[in-house]
A and B are shown apart, each in its own frame.
Chain A
């Protein structure tokens, strides 16, 4: 079972991201379970959502306390919430930022981490560019597909096109594609340096 925890703020589409990740996994014939941490539905408040992906029925109902991957939709949370709590050793981390892990002050903390599993993507900027709105969740799913390989980019695109239509769908698809390409390039560079 692969477990993903998404941290963000109310209004950033954190819950939608978890739901759509589960839809993308479902489209690949897998079992998936997405659910929010309830009760903090206020714009700007820290929000957490969860997604489990597995090849058999998922019966577990506890919050994800030991994630395999983290998606951090807002880097200002790094100083407010213990985003890394329980993260499995060598787990994947994807942060919405145009800074590097060093610039975020995480370089030392993640020194022994496999560098190709530490990725950043300027998802808010990509969303503004392609969609005209600062909602980073769909480009982050594109980036997630790249860094983890747990789902395919095509499945993310399919999930976007099922949920949205017209310009919103097209913008999100373009943003997800670009995020995917950016993260792929980052990973290659990391492996090259390693």
Chain B
């Protein structure tokens, strides 16, 4: 059924269709609307049987999800930003224990400085925690990926993070096709745990493992993640058969046939990039897009196949590896081992900085001329950067950077418009 609703609401309704049995959450913007809506459904009895547990922190949210999942309940939670970092230890534990929890991460920057806006720093900080990580391009895909996430996680006995851009998607009203309960039931079988705490057949989960077997347990976690590379395309195909649309999968290419320049990105910025690519194609530029839906496990072969014929790759990412450059681009580069092509890293949209068509067009034209630096910070305000650098040179006690920069640009309160 077509609906015009907020992204968070769409995800909440999709999660409810997946019949979760335990939802625990500590609200943090911008995912608050998701768990708020689920809480209302549980209270109203429209989502039953399901227990909604208000916890005292994100650490507790993931810990409760771990307990519930180990006891055989389909478990869900959502978080973002500092909340994700606060639960980090439990996030690693959920993966290490092989518990198929599904968690929405409404992507947001990490402080300091304090910032509530979108980028991918939160999810990518936990890229090696052992969770499967999927990134949604729009709200339709966000809701579809949640349905696939339960199926995938439960089959592999691995937790799955569904990442959607905070505010940009979570707070956007747009058209989505909400599946029916029958469709979701046909796609997602009831949860059959591969391991479960059952008083009738007592086992322990979470033993201490020493050097004699720790590496083997870790290897098995890696091997299991790699299985997802085979399962995900199959599940996406099955999803299409039932729901009638392409959603999920490893990567998606757009206008890449004969493309000399291919832009790689994740999440909602792909839409803006596609619009730019359409305009550039009209004037004869050979440019295409490769969108990464699955970030962990990283689909090396699919990325390599998608980029193979190109002369250059521009990886545009909403994250950065301080002291190195990009995170996504480092992963993409691994897929290109042995291929001869120019590779550019573009850091963009950090902390909610708008990524505009105008800036992208200029950027891609420069890339086509191979006139880009290896690492570019899109739309960086060099004036305030240089002013601060001068200040630091001139005075040892030059003051806090964030406050200095705000004073330089005369901003009274944070804004993005």
Q: Which residues of A contact B6 (CB under 8 A)?
A: 19
Q: A152 in the interface, Cβ–Cβ < 8 Å?
A: no
Q: Which residue on chain B has the smallest CB distance to residue A47?
A: B417
Other-chain residue from B354, B356, B415 in contact with A39 (beta carbon distance below 8 A): B415
Closest to B30 in A: A38
Interface size class of B (residues with CB under 8 A): 20 to 34
Whether B356 pairs with A62 at a CB distance below 8 angstroms is yes
Q: Pick the interface stretch among A26-34, A68-76, A123-131, A138-146.
A: A26-34
Q: Mark B180-216, 1 if CB is under 8 A from A, else 0.
A: 0000000000000000000000000000000000000
The answer to whether A63 has its CB under 8 Å from any CB of chain B is yes
Alpha-carbon gap, A23 to B173, bound state (A): 8
Q: Which residues of A contact B269 (CB under 8 A)?
A: 61
Q: Is A36 an interface residue (CB 8 A)?
A: yes
Min CB distance, A155 to chain B, in Å?
11
Mark interface residues in B346-357 (1 if CB within 8 Å of A CB, else 0).
Answer: 000000101111
Total contacts A to B, CB within 8 angstroms? Answer: 78
CB-defined contacts of A60 to chain B, threshold 8 Å = 271-272, 275, 357
How many residues of A are in contact with the other chain, CB < 8 A?
25
Q: Which of chain A's residues has its CB closest to B268's CB?
A: A61
Q: Determine how close the nearest CB of chain A comes to the CB of B114; give it in whole angstroms.
A: 11
Q: Are A59 and B171 in contact (CB under 8 A)?
A: no
Q: Chain A residues with Cβ under 8 A from B271's Cβ?
A: 58-61
| Set B168, B355, B417: member contacting A48, Cβ < 8 A | B417
B416 CB within 8 Å of chain A: yes
Residues of A within 8 A of B135 (CB): none
Q: Which residue of A27, A34, A37 contacts B172 across the interface (Cβ within 8 Å)?
A: A34
In the complex, the answer to whether A35 meets B171 with C-beta atoms within 8 Å is: yes
Known: A19-B173, A33-B174, A40-B415. A26 touches B357 (CB 8 A): no
Interface secondary structure of B, over-half rule: loop
Q: Is the CB–CB distance between B272 and A38 below 8 Å?
A: no
- Could you tell me the distance between the alpha carbons of A135 and B303 in the complex, rounded to whole angstroms? 51
**Cβ–Cβ contact B415 & A33, under 8 A:** no
Question: In the complex, which residues of chain A have a beta carbon less than 8 angstroms from the beta carbon of B172?
Answer: 33-35
Residues in A whose Cβ lies below 8 Å from that of B308: none
Which of B175, B275, B352 has most chain A Cβ within 10 Å?
A: B175
B77 within 8 A of A: no
Closest to B417 in A: A37
* A23 lies within 8 A of B4 (CB): yes
Contacts of A18 in B (CB 8 A): 173
Asked if residues B416 and A39 are in contact (CB atoms below 8 Å), the reply is yes
* Interfacial chain A residues near B345, Cβ < 8 Å: none
Once the chains bind, are A39 and B4 in contact (CB under 8 Å)?
Answer: no
* A96 CB-CB contact with B under 8 Å: no
Q: Which residue of the partner chain A has the closest CB to B116? A: A39
Contact check: which of A32, A36, A63 meets B4 at CB < 8 Å? A32
9 pairs, CB–CB < 8 Å, chain A vs chain B: A22-B173, A26-B2, A32-B174, A38-B416, A61-B268, A61-B269, A61-B355, A62-B354, A65-B356
Given A38-B116, A59-B138, 8 other A-B residues pairs in contact with their CB atoms under 8 A: A19-B6, A31-B174, A32-B175, A34-B174, A35-B168, A38-B30, A39-B352, A60-B357
